[in-house]
Amino acid sequence: MATLNVRGADIRIDAVELKDARLGGERAMGLAIVLREQTEAPREGRSFVDYEDTGRLISAMESATRVNESITKLAGFEARYRTRGDLEIRVFRQSRGSGTAASLSSGICDRVVALLTIEMDRLRARIVEAKTRLDEIK
């Protein structure tokens, strides 16, 4: 559905529908988010975000990108959110002089992509588009 190219990695977001092949089998919908390195031997990490969790993910991404020094008097801060499918977003600042940074990781101890907060906003917009597609077929 959409691919973002950021800092040596591709982030692919797909709206997916999974069905059990048996008659009357269960159905699941959600997002498949794939982080893939752009190297000679690329590795990738995948996360599935269930449809019911997409709204919370979008809200968490919006909240995380608004995190700034007003939340604490300490020099550094961090905000994180992890889905049940092990997709984690993280926004942080290590010292007063440094800017705010963000990261996206997929899987446990797997792929990590560093992002600017503006790139996190672009990613959130793509996730909203994918959720809208799922809303249309629900």
d(CA 126, CA 45): 18
Q: Give me the residues paired with residue 9 across strands.
A: 6, 37
* Residue type for position 82: R
d(CA 93, CA 25): 47
More confident residue, 108 or 35: 35
pLDDT tens-digit profile of 62-106? 988 888 777 777 888 888 899 998 899 988 887 777 777 788 888
* Residue type for position 65: T
